[in-house]
Amino acid sequence: MPIETPSQVFQELVEQHRGILFKVAKAYCSHEEEQQDLVQEMMIQIWQSLQRYDPRYKISTWLYRIALNVAISHFRKNKVHQRKQGTLQGQTPLSEDSDQPEKEQQLRLLEQFIEELKELDKALMVLYLEDRSYAEIAEIIGISVSNVATKIGRIKDKLKQRFSQQKISQNGR
Give the number of other CB atoms < 10 A from CB of residue 132: 19
Question: At 1, is the pLDDT very low, low, confident or very high (cuts 50, 70, 90)?
Answer: low
**What does the pLDDT read at residue 172?**
65
pLDDT tens for 74-133 read 877 766 444 444 444 444 344 444 455 777 888 888 888 888 888 889 999 989 988 889
Backbone angles phi and psi of 133, in degrees to 5:
-70, 160
Whose CA is closest to 127, among 114, 138, 137? 137
Q: Which domains does the chain have, with CATH numbers?
A: 1-85 (1.10.1740.10), 90-173 (1.10.10)
- C-beta of residue 103 within 8 angstroms of C-beta of residue 111: no
Whether pLDDT at 173 is above 80: no
pLDDT digits (tens, 9 = 90+) for 18-74: 999 999 998 888 889 999 999 999 999 999 999 898 888 889 999 999 999 999 888
